[in-house]
Structure 1
């Protein structure tokens, strides 16, 4: 009973806790090491929490193949190619350009469905898009990187095994949990408790990411501040662009597409290179973690503004 209440509490306060986690890790080194040691387990928690959140969410009308195909094409193809064209006109260091493009080649975060649940969006749509693009990652990222001439070497074989193992294990546990949900009600009483599982994984990511963020900021504060500004603008800008582009589909659907457009699993791309990115590219990827964790809180606050709600139809 207490476990269920704790998970529900975590799920209800997820957006605030994610920001606190990354801030807490900066001054407290033991928390950083604790998070870093648990980082492999966090991927399982994120995926499991997303599966459970989507499974326990209210039914979502209108999730048909044309909608899924459109969102996959938008997130997985249109945005990376548009960014590549745009960045080709900017005088950027090749390593920084590679980092920026890799952040957009990454699939949506594994916790996308759980974050959608926190924000009252469409967890099942977010789950389908994030899982589909994640499973395509071992093929899509090397192909795009070659076409775009990023000059980055990937260890996609090992990553593919890891991804399929995490998604398979999380999917199996989630299926068993839903099958025997009546017996697990004290631990998993509702959708908010399922989201709480993913929040634990995100808190671990926030604590672990503090180490890389602190290292990058210490080595060159001004450079990292500029990369952070660019990462924030890219993340929030893509979220807003997608939400407005698909506004005719209603706030829930458009907001979900915005969420998966801006919230990318940059640490997955970093792992795909065996953590061997050039320093500039690594710095940009580290900067991208901050808006990923801060985005849910900012969206939550924006959704409370009457002026924001009037911009987009509420149906859908």
Structure 2
């Protein structure tokens, strides 16, 4: 059993790299993409369980009070979608593409938000609370917002609500028991890294599964998909940066966590809620939105590593900035 614990810890430690590898492997090897697609329903449980475990084994976090939670929930679940709807109303976008962009922002944060926060040294418990709260509200908030914004998309939220509550309930129960009896499970769950490793397995499955849709949309119209991919990257990274700067006064860890849950949305959930019946442009944008979610952790890791390393470089050896 110790081998399992060591493997999970290794997966958690190399999570950002493995997410990118899984996406590339699915694009290059078709059977792997098909295999991931078959396991996609199970990945939701692993992502949620890994997030619960990561938050449960994380060091204590101070300052998670009701005013902070209300502020973050309002920002992620209300301010950003409304602001995006207002902004997009002035842009000459195809209605289907507009629907895809807005749907990606109506989605709650990814189920693995707490695990990703753990990978990046942010606040897993804050990320978990925001992610779970908005996910539980999704069966009401998504169809209401979609109707108010005139997206013209039908949702089967009743069936999805039952599935969401079942997944969250089962994952929460398993995580509670694992944390409660952690001393007896040290060989399987030795540390927080192993807990993150559980979510990494789920993210690897997502990377493999979504590569199938990405390849299909890219082959049907490469130029159009590249444009949607660029828009998805700008939206994801832009919202992460905007939220981090907006809440910088709350400290780098809190601001970074709010940035994480602002940009990284569970677009697969919205896709499933629509019965996989989105218009082609909207579906293509949703597929493209998965890529920055999987790539962001390694980019942040590389940036943090570069920032830490640069402090040890003598001033006279650092690259000089040139004017103009």
TM-score (ref. length: structure 2): 0.94
2-structure distance, mates of 1:76, 1:11: 29
Structure 1 residues 31, 240: CA separation in 2 closer, same or farther (over 3 Å shift)?
A: same
Partner SS, residue 120 of structure 1? coil
Is 1:303–1:309's contact at 8 Å kept on the other side of the alignment?
no
1-structure distance, mates of 2:78, 2:308: 32
2-structure distance, mates of 1:55, 1:159: 26
Structure 1 residues 47, 308: CA separation in 2 closer, same or farther (over 3 Å shift)?
A: farther
For 1:154-173, list aligned pairs within 5 A: 154-173=155-174
* Equivalent residue, structure 1, for 2:113: 112
For 1:40-119, list aligned pairs within 5 A: 40-119=41-120
What CA deviation, in whole Å up to 9, does each residue of 1:227-277 have, x standing for no partner? 000000000000000000000111100000000000000000000000000
* Equivalent residue, structure 2, for 1:143: 144
Is 1:302–1:308's contact at 8 Å kept on the other side of the alignment?
no
2-structure distance, mates of 1:297, 1:119: 9
Question: Displacement, 1:308?
Answer: 12
2:275 maps to 1:274: yes
1-structure distance, mates of 2:96, 2:225: 14
* Equivalent residue, structure 1, for 2:222: 221
What CA deviation, in whole Å up to 9, does each residue of 1:79-110 have, x standing for no partner? 00000000000000000000000000000000
1-structure distance, mates of 2:271, 2:293: 15
Is 1:217–1:224's contact at 8 Å kept on the other side of the alignment?
yes
CA RMSD of aligned residues (A): 1.3
Structure 1 residue runs of 5 or longer lacking an equivalent are: 311-316
* Equivalent residue, structure 2, for 1:130: 131
* Equivalent residue, structure 2, for 1:249: 250
2-structure distance, mates of 1:160, 1:308: 46
2-structure distance, mates of 1:131, 1:297: 24
1-structure distance, mates of 2:60, 2:285: 38
For 1:202-213, list aligned pairs within 5 A: 202-213=203-214
2-structure distance, mates of 1:140, 1:204: 27
Structure 1 residues 111, 309: CA separation in 2 closer, same or farther (over 3 Å shift)?
A: farther
Question: Displacement, 1:305?
Answer: 3.9
Is 1:109–1:265's contact at 8 Å kept on the other side of the alignment?
yes
Question: Displacement, 1:309?
Answer: 11
What CA deviation, in whole Å up to 9, does each residue of 1:186-236 have, x standing for no partner? 000000000000000000000000100000000000000000000000000
What CA deviation, in whole Å up to 9, does each residue of 1:164-206 have, x standing for no partner? 0000000010011111111110000000000000000000000
1-structure distance, mates of 2:260, 2:49: 19
The total of aligned residue pairs comes to: 310
Structure 2 residue runs of 5 or longer lacking an equivalent are: 312-324
Structure 1 residues 283, 309: CA separation in 2 closer, same or farther (over 3 Å shift)?
A: farther
1-structure distance, mates of 2:115, 2:130: 13
